[in-house]
Amino acid sequence: MRMRPTKLILIIPVALLVVFFYVPLISILQTGLWDNGPTLKFISSVLVNSYHRRVIEFTVAQALASTVLTLAIGLPGAYIFAKYDFPGKRTIRAVLTVPFVMPSVMVALGFILLFGRGGIITDLIGHDLGILYSWKGILLAHAFYNFPIVVRMVSALWQRINPHYEEAAMTLGARGWRLFWRVTLPMLSPAIFASAMLTFVFCFLSFSIPLIIGGYRYATIEVDIFTSIMTLLDFRTGAALAVIQIVLSMVFMYLYLKSLDAYAKREEQRVMQRPRRMTLSELASLKGSLIITYALFIFIFIVSPLLAVLYDSLHFNGVWSLENYRRIFSAEYDPMFGASTLDAIRNSLTFGFATVFLSLLTALPIAYSMHRWNFRGKRVFDVLATLPLASSAITLGLGYIRVFSGTALYYTPWLLIAAYTIISYPFVLRTVSASLKKIRPNLWEAALSLGAKEWKAFLRVELPLALGGLIVGSIFAFAMSIAELGATYMLAKPEYTTMTLAVYKFLGARQFGSASALAVLLMLISTAGFLLIERTGEEVW
């Protein structure tokens, strides 16, 4: 009998996507656009409301501003990384991975501890910089998360620009800025545009950061949906906002994917230029000191929120102490969110692993079929499988409340895991597909000619070669699931409280010490993920 992988392998992924993404999505569309027939009245009532309109404008504006700030911080780094080797470069490069795995609740907490009243930097300078609870804090935190993307994507392309172009232009008389503007920049633009689009989309859909350090005045659409549903119980408004958000983010996501195509095409020209080792005298020059200053700056930028959290967790009433840790593990604190800290740790880990498992179960068959087969409607299928990228956790949470409340699934951890899977599987799909694409088709054909059936050739030859991408994708899925706040808040019964949710609740109760102690534990888990990514050596984007 012949064993050939059939379209049957797509049954599980398609079922998961339909039940946990498309049905909830349709329910949201129905809530937002239907009242005994199609209607735009909920949408328009959101649009005429000055608060919601301001939120929408602010969401776009802060995403734009965050993107500009991110580019401003990231582009010099891209240049330095592409062109120079300097002492400590490896460390800095590794540190750039940290934001990918750090939960935003923790980073928000770090910002509070640095810039808040009585914060470390506030104390140091002697007055409040007004960063917290304003748009400045939001922008800074967004830059923290996204500038590594810019550094990595742009420097990767910069290294591959054939030096002959620049040399040819120089012989034709272009020099300095003119050379950069006329020759280098146009060749870099796909990377700049793709990384900027990605940054923009992330900032547009940002939740935890504006929720915690933006306050009521600086809400994004995502936060607005959340408060509409959770505090005002106004599902119509929530759904209308969600529809507006989905439409906008689909447009942005489309632009991002287009720009990514252009980027991938450019990246293929593999003229790798080794960065130049800087000599000691160069390091001492103006250029050298600028580079060192920049490296130091980004190191401090990334590490300081984390250190602030660590420092705070080890202080109680102004003295060094382990009291915070004792407290979070003591029984008297359980009633606070209905689960002990150990429960929260266990929940985070089990949900995380379950998410990785389900994400792989969803992403692998889709990646395989897109990689291997040509079938009718492949493009449509591709779009439908990628669409979850344009949705958000809060939107999913809303959809799940509409669809599953009253069913047996409601209030089970499965709904949480499903939500985590839907938001994180596209990343697994992307990293795995990207790795598969890099494998020469010959290898697969050689395996077939040697008697390997299709699935065996895939398992024995292609999958091992795509392992780096698979591991990085899995770590992402894990990191996203343990960092998720909004949908968890909306859907979790108290005993399914996760570490992230617990940190948030400690924050809400203004118990910063306990929040920090728990956040440090979260940080340890994230660090394990970070070390794993470093070991695979796979490019993250």
Partner 1 sequence: MVSVELRGIQKRWEDFALTIERLRARDGELLTLLGPSGCGKTTTLRIIAGLEKPNSGEVLFDGTPVNDLPPYERNIGIVFQDYALFPHMTVFKNVAFGLEMRKLPRMEIERRVKRALELVNLEGLENRYPEQLSGGQQQRIALARALVVEPQVLLLDEPLSNLDAKIRERLRSEIKRIQRELKITTIYVTHDQEEAMALSDRIAVMNFGRIEQVGKPLELYHHPKTEFVARFLGSSNILELKAENGVVRLGSLRFNVGISGRVKMFFRPESVRVKEGNDAHVVDYEILPGRVRFKLKIDGKVITSEGLLSDIPFDIEEPPKRVGVEISTFAIL
Interaction site with partner 1 (CB under 8 A):
2, 4, 440, 442-443, 445-454, 456-457, 460-461, 464-465
| 175 neighbors 142 (Cβ within 8 angstroms) | no
Beta carbon nearer to partner 1, 385 or 447: 447
Token code pair at residue 208: 């935890």
Look at phi and psi of residue 68 and say left if phi exceeds 0, alpha if psi is from -120 to 50, else beta: alpha
Beta carbon nearer to partner 1, 255 or 448: 448
Beta carbon nearer to partner 1, 240 or 461: 461
Q: Which residues pair with 315 in a beta bridge?
A: 320
Q: How far is the CB of 537 from partner 1 (least distance, A)?
A: 14
- Owner of token pair 């012949």: 2
| 82 neighbors 151 (Cβ within 8 angstroms) | no
Residue closest to 292 by CA, chosen among 86, 75, 70? 86
Beta carbon nearer to partner 1, 118 or 441: 441
Beta carbon nearer to partner 1, 182 or 438: 438
- What distance lies between CA 540 and its chain's CA centroid? 11
| 244 neighbors 46 (Cβ within 8 angstroms) | yes
Residue closest to 481 by CA, chosen among 25, 14, 103, 17? 103
The Cα 33–Cα 35 span in angstroms is 7
Number of alpha carbons in the 13 Å side-chain half-sphere of residue 98: 22
Q: How far is the CB of 439 from partner 1 (least distance, A)?
A: 9
SS3 173: coil
Beta carbon nearer to partner 1, 4 or 510: 4
Beta carbon nearer to partner 1, 152 or 371: 371
Q: How far is the CB of 479 from partner 1 (least distance, A)?
A: 26
Q: How far is the CB of 449 from partner 1 (least distance, A)?
A: 4
Going from the C-alpha of 73 to that of each of 145, 150, 256, the distances in angstroms are 11, 9, 20
Q: How far is the CB of 69 from partner 1 (least distance, A)?
A: 41
Beta carbon nearer to partner 1, 7 or 287: 7
Token code pair at residue 132: 């917290």
Helix axes 41-48, 50-83, angle to 10 degrees: 80
Beta carbon nearer to partner 1, 19 or 465: 465
Indicate the burial class of 245 (C-beta count within 10 angstroms; 0-12, 13-18, 19 or more): buried
The Cα 145–Cα 516 span in angstroms is 20
The Cα 183–Cα 195 span in angstroms is 20
> What angle is formed at CA 41 by the lines to CA 419 and CA 399, rounded to 5 degrees?
10
| 495 neighbors 339 (Cβ within 8 angstroms) | yes
Collect contacts of 49-54 with beta carbons under 8 A, ≥24 apart: 52/224, 52/237, 52/241
Beta carbon nearer to partner 1, 172 or 443: 443
Residue 300's contacts (CB-CB under 8 Å, 6 or more residues apart) are none
Q: How far is the CB of 447 from partner 1 (least distance, A)?
A: 7
Beta carbon nearer to partner 1, 316 or 455: 455
Q: How far is the CB of 373 from partner 1 (least distance, A)?
A: 14
Q: How far is the CB of 437 from partner 1 (least distance, A)?
A: 16
Token code pair at residue 279: 């000599």
Q: How far is the CB of 454 from partner 1 (least distance, A)?
A: 8
Residue 9's contacts (CB-CB under 8 Å, 6 or more residues apart) are 365, 368, 369
Q: How far is the CB of 431 from partner 1 (least distance, A)?
A: 18
Beta carbon nearer to partner 1, 177 or 375: 375
Q: Read off the amino acid at residue 86.
A: F
Q: How far is the CB of 462 from partner 1 (least distance, A)?
A: 10
Q: How far is the CB of 446 from partner 1 (least distance, A)?
A: 4
Q: How far is the CB of 376 from partner 1 (least distance, A)?
A: 17
Beta carbon nearer to partner 1, 2 or 376: 2
Beta carbon nearer to partner 1, 398 or 472: 472
The DSSP secondary structure of 247-300, one letter per residue, reads HHHHHHHHHHHHHHHHHHHHHHS----PPEEPPHHHHHSHHHHHHHHHHHHHHH
Q: How far is the CB of 528 from partner 1 (least distance, A)?
A: 25
